[in-house]
Amino acid sequence: MPLTLLSLVNQNPTIFYTLLLTLFSFALFLFKNRVKTTKSKWNLPPSPPKLPIIGHLHHHGTLPHRYFRDLSLKHGPLLWLNLARIPALLVSSANFAKEIIKHQDTIFADRFQSVSSRILTYGCKDISYASYGEIWRHKRKISTLGLLSQRRIRSFQFVREEEVSDLVDKIRRACINNNNCCVDVTELVTSASNCIISRCVIRKKFDEEDSICKFGELIRKLIIQLAELSMGDLFPWLGWVDFLTGKIGEFKDTFRALDAFFEEVLADHKKKMKRDDGNKDFVDILLQLQEDDMLGFDSDQDDLKAVLTDMFLGGNDTTSTTTEWTLTELMKHPSIMKKAQEEVRKVVGNKSKVEESDINEMKYVKLVVKETLRLHPPAPFLAPRETISDTKLGGYDIPRKTVIFFNTWAIHRDPEVWERAEEFIPERFEKTKIDFKGQDFGYFPFGFGKRICPGMKFGLTSVEYILANLLYWFEWKLPEGEDCDNIDMSETYGLTVKKKVPLCLEPKLYSFQSQTDTSI
C-alpha cells in the first residue's frame, strides 16, 4: 500500500512536523532573498497586498474572473501577482491587450506547463500546452488546415444534422407525452454537442454502449484535473507532497485510461485505413497525413494522441456552455428572443428541416451569439500564456517566464470600451466590423494572435446550428413560478464558466408543425 500523508503523520508525527517546519523555514529564507533581489532588479507592475510564502494565492475567490476584476479596479489594469513561486501578470485592459496583440504577440506566445498538463497531454506534445516553436507551428498548421478547415467543417455537416435532429426529436417526444413538461436544456445540449465532437473525431458517440466510447466521465475528469495547480507547481521543492497525497497517482490513472482508449481507437482505425467512404474522421485524417509523411515533423503515436486530446478538450464544454448561456439570455430578454425566432422562421420558412446554408442568412442570430460570447466568454482567462523573453509593458519590466492571465471577461465588460457594458444588447454589433479573429482589442472570446483557438469555426458552426433548431421548432417558457427577472445567473468556475443551476425550460411545439410534415 502506498504511503500517504496521513499515514506518515500517524506513524511518526515528530519527524513529519520537524520536516515540515524545516521546509517552511527554508522556503521563507528563499522567499525573502528572492523578494529582495526582485525589488532591486525589476520595475514591476503594481501588486496588491500579499502573504509570506504563498504570495497572492489567497486572492482568487470562488469566481476568480470576478474577484480579479474587482482587484484590478482597485489597484490598476496591470497587476503583478506571486502565486507562490509562480510569477504572474494579470492583464485586465483593452489598451494593454492591444499592445501585446499588435507588437508583442511572439514574446507572449509561450505556454505555462503545469504538472497536470505534462502528465495528461503526453509531455505537452499537444497544441494547447506545447511550447512555442517550430514543432508547435507544424501541429497548429495541421489542426487549422487539415482538421479544422472550412472545407473539413462542411464535410461534417451530416453529423451535426443527425445529432441535432436527435436532440429535437427528444424534446418533441417530451412535448407529446406531457403538455407541460420541463426539460433539462443543459443536459440535452451538452449531450448533443459532445456527440458531435465525438463522431467527428473518432466516428462514435459518447453515449454508445460500445465500451470504446464510455469515456464521457474520463473527459470530464481530464478537464477538472488540467485546471488544477499542484504543490509541485506552487513550490517545486515540495513536489514530493503530490506523490504522498496521491495527486500524481490520480493524474497518472486518468492518463493511463485515456491512453488506453486512444490506443484502441488508433488500432481500430489503422485496420480500416484502406476504406474510402468519403466520411473520414479526424483520426483517419491524422493517420493518413502521418503515412504520407505530411505532418512536417517526426511524429510518433504519442503526438497523434496528444492532438486528439486537444480535440476533445476544445470541443467538449465550449459549445454546450455557449449555447446554454445564449438560451438563458434569450429567456431573460423576451423581446430579443422574439426577434431571433422571427428571423429564423422567416429564413427557414415551412421546410422540413433547418439547413446549415440557412444560417448565413440569420444575421440577428449571429449578433445574439456574438453578444453572448462578450458577456459569457467560455474561458474567462483564456489559457495562460508565458513570456519567452524579458520585455516591457506599460513602462514596467516583465521578466522572462512570467505567466500571463488575460481577464477576457473583465475586458469584455469594460465600460471604457463598451457602452452599457453589463447589458445584453446584440444590436451593438450591427454596424461594426468586430469579429472573432482576435484583432479587436476589447473582444477576443477565442483568444488572439498565434495562440488563437484553432477550433473557433468548428465550435461556432455547431452553436449556431443547434440554436437555430431550438428557436425554429419550439416556443420556450420558464417553469411555473419563475419569470425573466429572477432567472438564476450564478456561475461555476472551471476550465469554462458554466451556469451553476442547469437551465430547465418548458418547450411547446410551434403551431405550424401541425399543418406541415414534421419529420426532420
- From its phi and psi, is residue 402 left (phi > 0), alpha (psi between -120 and 50) or beta? beta
Q: Are residues 403 and 436 in the same domain?
A: yes
For residue 30, what pLDDT is reported? 56
For residue 512, what pLDDT is reported? 67
| H or E element, residue 139 | helix 134-141
Q: Is 175 annotated as a binding residue?
A: no
Q: Are residues 510 and 433 in the same domain?
A: yes
Are 506 and 331 in contact by the 8 Å Cβ rule? The answer is no
What are the 10-residue block averages of pLDDT along the chain, 520 residues in total?
35 46 54 50 92 87 91 94 94 94 94 95 94 91 86 93 96 86 93 91 71 66 88 91 94 94 91 70 90 80 92 83 96 97 95 93 97 95 94 96 96 95 96 83 91 92 97 94 90 88 93 50
Q: Are residues 399 and 324 in the same domain?
A: yes
Q: Are residues 60 and 6 in the same domain?
A: no
Is 470 among the domain residues?
yes
| H or E element, residue 504 | strand 504-509
For residue 142, what pLDDT is reported? 87
- Residue 419 DSSP symbol: T
Q: What's the grid cell of residue 443?
A: 473582444
Alpha-carbon torsion (450, 451, 455, 461), positive or negative: negative
Strands 391-393 and 110-111 come out as: unpaired
Is 286 among the domain residues?
yes
Report the candidate in 225, 257, 259 with the shortest Cα–Cα distance to residue 242. 225
Q: Are residues 20 and 141 in the same domain?
A: no
CB count within 10 Å of CB 300 equals 10
DSSP-assigned letters across all residues of 202-230: HSS-TT-SSGGG--HHHHHHHHHHHTPPP
For residue 313, what pLDDT is reported? 83
Is 519 among the domain residues?
no
Is 473 among the domain residues?
yes
Q: Are residues 46 and 83 in the same domain?
A: yes
For residue 57, what pLDDT is reported? 87
Are 251 and 225 in contact by the 8 Å Cβ rule? The answer is yes
Is 14 among the domain residues?
yes
Chain centroid offset of residue 336 CA: 26
- From its phi and psi, is residue 454 left (phi > 0), alpha (psi between -120 and 50) or beta? alpha
Q: Are residues 247 and 128 in the same domain?
A: yes
Q: Are residues 347 and 484 in the same domain?
A: yes
Is 520 among the domain residues?
no
Residue in the structure block whose three cell numbers are 504520407: 292
DSSP-assigned letters across all residues of 459-474: HHHHHHHHHHHHHHHE
Q: In what order do the strands lie in the sheet with 86-91?
A: 78-83, 86-91, 403-406, 385-386, 110-111
Q: Are residues 347 and 396 in the same domain?
A: yes
Is 144 among the domain residues?
yes
Report how far residue 328's alpha carbon sits from residue 467's, in angstroms, rounded to the nearest whole number: 12
Which residue range is the domain that position 218 belongs to?
42-514
For residue 125, what pLDDT is reported? 93
Report the candidate in 286, 249, 21, 256 with the shortest Cα–Cα distance to residue 142. 286
Q: Are residues 25 and 172 in the same domain?
A: no
Share of the chain residues as helix, strand and coil, in percent rounded to the nearest 5? 55, 10, 35
Give the SS3 label for residue 506: strand
What CATH number is attached to the domain comprising 417?
1.10.630.10
Report how far residue 59's alpha carbon sits from residue 71's, in angstroms, rounded to the nearest whole number: 9
Q: Are residues 27 and 84 in the same domain?
A: no
Q: Are residues 380 and 462 in the same domain?
A: yes
DSSP-assigned letters across all residues of 303-322: HHHHHHHHHHHHHHSHHHHH
How many structural domains is the chain composed of? 2
Cα within 13 Å of Cα(376), Cβ side: 25
DSSP-assigned letters across all residues of 349-394: TT-SS--HHHHTT-HHHHHHHHHHHHHS-SSTT-S-EE-SS-EEET
